[in-house]
Structure 1
Amino acid sequence: MGSLRWDIARRLLPTGRGLDVLEVGCGQGSVGVRLAADHQYLGLELDHSSFETARSRLATLGRGEVRCGSTDLVEPGRQFDLLVSFEVIEHIEDDAWALTSWVRMLRPGGSLVLSTPGYQARYGPMDAAVGHFRRYEPAVLVALMERAGLEAVEVRHYGMPIGYGVEAVRNVVARRRKRSEGEITMEEGTGRSGRFLQPAGRAAGLAIGVATVPFRFVQRAFPERGPTLLARGERPTRDAGLR
């Protein structure tokens, strides 16, 4: 699903090179290596195993930085041209507070791009297993981002049609794991979410990327269909409301 997400997400990013970019929840660094190739990149990741993978990938690239922790590790007052956060906001209980704090880290005119599972009616065993507090309706996500101080908010979908099948498989796996492992906490689920059914190695990731190429054209034809949402908003150029 990562390659399908990037196919849409990259179209929402600002143009140009050399931007100051922060990624909150960089996982194993698949997005980070793409962004660091053209921009001044800083990634944050709570899960130590994923952090180590991301750090290794960026070291191979020779660009960018990743830190193990939350936004507390960002220097006070530092601001960015772009903040991205993929499959993170649903893990945060106080999502309104998180979004507002992220917007404060943007320079006026900066952009925030995020993705998140869509539609609460689709909340299932997989969501619970990886520490999701909720899924989002598009209108709810727009309102949340606007209240956080963003404007020109737009929402797109991705994953049509293969995303529905992927979620069905993940729900089956999650049910089986629950029977064998028992209940886990939200924190435990969040910690392993970036590694849940992810490709085992670069070769597997490349193979999946190639296999999903036809589905990229399908999802572009159906921007309002798919189980997952991508959203973009901008901090106003003249912003007196956020400090």
Structure 2
Amino acid sequence: MLRREKHQTESPILAPGIILQNLYVEERLKNHAPGRFIEIGIGRGHLSRMLLEMGWTGTGFDLGEQALEDAAQINKKYVDNGALELRQGNWLEYQDDEPADLVVSCMVLEHLEEAAETEYLHKARACMKPGGLGILLVPGSPAHWGAEDDVAGHLRRYTPELLRTRLESAGFTVNSIAGLTYPLSNLLLPLSDFLVRRSAAKFLDLSQVERTKLSGRRQIWGKTEFPLWTRMVLNKYALYPFHLLQKINRNKKNSLTLYAEFTK
């Protein structure tokens, strides 16, 4: 288990798409009693932090040591009190997980070759308690493949139909598939692509595995790093109208993020 003695910092400023995703997940989980979760690809730990603040406890996995250090820093209180355990390595290779009430990952499945994707889904099912819940957030709309996908080491973007097929083939009951972040992320996409392309060269020479390790903690000014004044607008209260819009538009085929909720 990874522990760090850094001081708990103020919640970092998140990109608008991440804020909208978290708002949706938080709303969907409000009617579920907190239990134990496993997050695969914890990255900087923002999603786990939200779960912990809702009363969940759990384990976060990531391939990258630096990502886990970031996650430990912003979740220091929960690491110190034992509510959050952090593990470095490939979750698919771990055999000792106790059953979880929730298995969740954000922007992970698209990094996996098809065989590993199948293995991931079967392992997720095996790790769930009977009646356990699974949540996936993945890139949507293959028509919007762009610089972000190349730089992050993505292998695919999903359609709702493909995602449903993969989940049902693994034996899950699909409760919901929704498109998220529309229209805000679509409006910001040209700016996002510009910012990513401007910094792309240093990532494209890396292997797909290395790009995957870095995908959750790339530092790109204006996309993942923001000046302090932006906290006035980049918060869940200011963006709540866009949360309502993403819910209204959840069936849009060109939504850039897909949310899947499923049970064992």
Question: Is residue 19 from structure 1 mapped to residue 35 from structure 2 by the alignment?
Answer: yes
2:28 aligned counterpart, secondary structure: coil
Question: Is residue 28 from structure 1 mapped to residue 44 from structure 2 by the alignment?
Answer: yes
Deviates more, 1:41-50 or 1:83-92: 41-50
Correspondence list, 1:104-123, <5 A: 104-123=126-145
Match in the other structure for 2:84: 64
Q: 2:251 aligns with which of 224, 227, 235?
A: 224
CA–CA separation in structure 2 for the residues paired with 1:190 and 1:60 = 28
Structure 2 CA distance for partners of 1:77 and 1:22, relative to 1, 3 Å: closer
Match in the other structure for 1:177: 199
Structure 2 CA distance for partners of 1:73 and 1:34, relative to 1, 3 Å: farther
Q: Which amino acid letter does the alignment assign opposite residue 166 of structure 1? A: L
Correspondence list, 1:133-152, <5 A: 133-152=155-174
CA–CA separation in structure 1 for the residues paired with 2:167 and 2:52 = 26
Match in the other structure for 2:64: 47
After TM superposition, give the deviation of residue 113 of structure 1 in Å. Answer: 0.3
Checking the alignment, whether the CA contact within 8 Å between 1:20 and 1:80 is kept in structure 2 is yes
CA–CA separation in structure 1 for the residues paired with 2:229 and 2:70 = 15
Q: Which amino acid letter does the alignment assign opposite residue 229 of structure 1? A: L
CA–CA separation in structure 2 for the residues paired with 1:165 and 1:129 = 20
Structure 2 CA distance for partners of 1:15 and 1:180, relative to 1, 3 Å: closer
CA–CA separation in structure 1 for the residues paired with 2:98 and 2:106 = 21
Q: Which amino acid letter does the alignment assign opposite residue 218 of structure 1? A: L
Q: Which amino acid letter does the alignment assign opposite residue 228 of structure 1? A: T
Q: Which amino acid letter does the alignment assign opposite residue 186 of structure 2? A: Y
Point out where structure 2 has 5 or more consecutive residues left out of the alignment. 1-16
CA–CA separation in structure 1 for the residues paired with 2:89 and 2:204 = 27
CA–CA separation in structure 1 for the residues paired with 2:232 and 2:50 = 14
Match in the other structure for 2:234: 208
Q: Which amino acid letter does the alignment assign opposite residue 93 of structure 1? A: E
Identity %: 24
Match in the other structure for 2:225: 199
2:102 aligned counterpart, secondary structure: strand
Match in the other structure for 2:23: 7
CA–CA separation in structure 2 for the residues paired with 1:10 and 1:36 = 11
Alignment RMSD, CA only?
2.4
* Runs of 4 or more above 4 Å deviation: 72-75, 179-182, 200-207
Checking the alignment, whether the CA contact within 8 Å between 2:43 and 2:67 is kept in structure 1 is yes
Checking the alignment, whether the CA contact within 8 Å between 2:41 and 2:105 is kept in structure 1 is yes
**Which whole-Å deviations, capped at 9, do the CAs of 1:121-160 have from their partners, x for residues lacking one?**
2111110100100000100000000111101342001111
Normalising by structure 1, we get a TM-score of: 0.86
CA–CA separation in structure 1 for the residues paired with 2:202 and 2:256 = 28
CA–CA separation in structure 2 for the residues paired with 1:77 and 1:222 = 37
